[in-house]
Structure 1
Amino acid sequence: MTPGVPLDQIGQTLASFYDDLITEGVPAHLAALVRRVKQAQPAPVTASHGQARPAGETRAVHLAIVVEDEPEIRELAKTLLEETELQVVGCPSAEEALAVLQQRGGEVALVFADIRLAGQMDGLQLARAVATLWPRARLVITSGHGVRRPDLPAEAVFIAKPWRAADVLQEAERAAREPAPPIA
């Protein structure tokens, strides 16, 4: 694929490989996500909080998704990231984060996720899905428990809990300012 290919086209291409993904051992819930991407209608371009953008506005939106099941920690991370130029959405589960990604994946510059989450998916499974389906998003994974580097996607950055605000802000700045990697 070449840079500039619409995300819905990428999703349709990935969805066309759905049967092969199942055969190759991709977890069923990730393969189901790929299938849903194919079936999803393109969402209208919106500004933060689901409001339509004014006609003629072309500014690119850069979105950060904070995925953390502990409400206090999620709010702390959101408040911290709101000090950057990124718009921020908080999600208590990987499933909620995937719903946001399906609607606004082209706008997502940063996914900041804990490994242990409520719901059926954990942060590592979410990171693998993001790395596969939204490779332009910067992945920052956090945990108060050790994680082996081979468990993380190669593109992911790991920040141990308790994380320092400066480390999170540094990754947010990279996500907002550095050009997204090309889609191979």
Structure 2
Amino acid sequence: MRKHQTSAPLPLTDTLTPGVPLDQIGRTLASFYDNLVSEGVPEHLAALVRRVRQTETEKPAQVETGATSARAAHRRVALVVEDDPEIRALAETLLEETELDVVGCDSAEAALSVLQARGGEVALVFADVRLAGQMDGLQLARAVATLWPRARLVVTSGRGLSRPDLPREAVFIAKPWRPFDVLVEAERAAADPPPPIL
């Protein structure tokens, strides 16, 4: 049975997530990156994980529900950018089966608003080339590749698209896309942690 310590001083908390102790956030990050250290994570990130673990062993164990709620509060996002409401709804429904939260937009301008507000949480941008609004999907893809390079970028179109038109980081899936292909890219986006900001 776990005991709660009531006499201990209150831990430091993250100002962006009031009430969540920083050491719980650190433990959550450490557990998230646990398996990745053995899979070739850069040494500076591995060193950060080791420091977090060392700090964790020096502190008394705390209730896991805080770490679980911190993890749930920071779910990553799949951004679906498609002007056809039926196709957008299909992609949203498909991506809701993954670990990602889904946000749908009908234009590049709407997608940029979401990225400006939640860019650090966006793991996947799935965008059609033809969109409502003045920007097309290629312009959006270039903006995402430049300003939010940590997001996995998937561009789709019913017309053939030559590779030079896309940013180097982008994946192209022709329409009609297969649900399996979209899910594979979503799983890659969910599995790849965003690199640390240096």
Mapped partners of 1:127, 1:72: distance in 2: 22
Mapped partners of 1:96, 1:90: distance in 2: 9
| Structure number with higher relative contact order (C-alpha < 8 Å, ≥ 6 residues apart) | 1
Residue 161 (structure 2) pairs with residue 152 (structure 1): no
Mapped partners of 2:190, 2:121: distance in 1: 11
Contact 1:135–1:181 (8 Å) recurs in 2: no
1:79 to 93, 98, 107: 93
SS in 1 for 2:70: coil
Written as runs of structure 1 = structure 2, the 5 A alignment for 1:34-183 is 55-56=19-20, 57-59=69-71, 60-180=74-194
State the 1:118 CA deviation: 0.7
SS in 2 for 1:163: coil
Contact 1:109–1:138 (8 Å) recurs in 2: yes
Mapped partners of 1:122, 1:129: distance in 2: 11
* Alpha-carbon RMSD: 1.9
Contact 1:115–1:123 (8 Å) recurs in 2: yes
Contact 1:108–1:137 (8 Å) recurs in 2: yes
Structure label with greater radius of gyration? 2
Q: Counterpart of 1:105 in structure 2: which amino acid?
A: G
Contiguous gaps of at least 5 residues in structure 1: 1-43, 46-52
TM-score (norm 2): 0.64
State the 1:61 CA deviation: 1.7
Mapped partners of 1:133, 1:106: distance in 2: 11
Contiguous gaps of at least 5 residues in structure 2: 1-14, 21-68
Partner of residue 27, structure 1: none
Contact 1:114–1:142 (8 Å) recurs in 2: yes
Q: Counterpart of 1:97 in structure 2: which amino acid?
A: A
CA-to-partner distance for each residue in 1:66-112, whole Å, 9 max, x for gaps? Answer: 00000000000000000000000000000000000000000000000
Q: Counterpart of 1:100 in structure 2: which amino acid?
A: V
Matched residue count: 134
Superposed structure 1 runs of 4+ greater than 6 Å apart: none
State the 1:137 CA deviation: 0.1
SS in 2 for 1:146: coil
Contact 1:142–1:158 (8 Å) recurs in 2: yes
SS in 2 for 1:69: coil
